[in-house]
Amino acid sequence: MAAQAILASEATTMREIAEDPWLMTALGLGTVLTAFYFVAHACCFGADAAMLQSLSVICSSAG
C-alpha cells in the first residue's frame, strides 16, 4: 500500500513538472548551456582534434 502511494506521488510530480512551461524552459536551457559548455571546453577535457574537427582551430590557438 505504501509503494502504491509512492508511485502515485511520483506520477503526480512528473505530470506537474511536464505541465509547467517555465520549468520545462529552464530544464531545456540548462541542457543546452551544459552541452555548449562541454563542446566549447572540449580541448580542456582532453578531446582530440580528430574527434572534434570543428573545434581544432580553437583548441590549437588556445594551447
The string of pLDDT tens digits covering residues 5-61 is 566 677 787 788 888 889 889 988 998 898 888 777 766 766 665 666 666 666 566
The whole-number pLDDT of residue 12 equals 84
Q: Domain ranges in the chain?
A: 2-62
> pTM for this structure?
0.49
Contact between 59 and 49 (Cβ < 8 Å): yes
Query: What is the predicted pLDDT for the residue at 62?
Result: 54
Query: What are the cell numbers at 62?
Result: 588556445
Note the pLDDT of residue 29: 93
- Give residue 38's pLDDT: 79
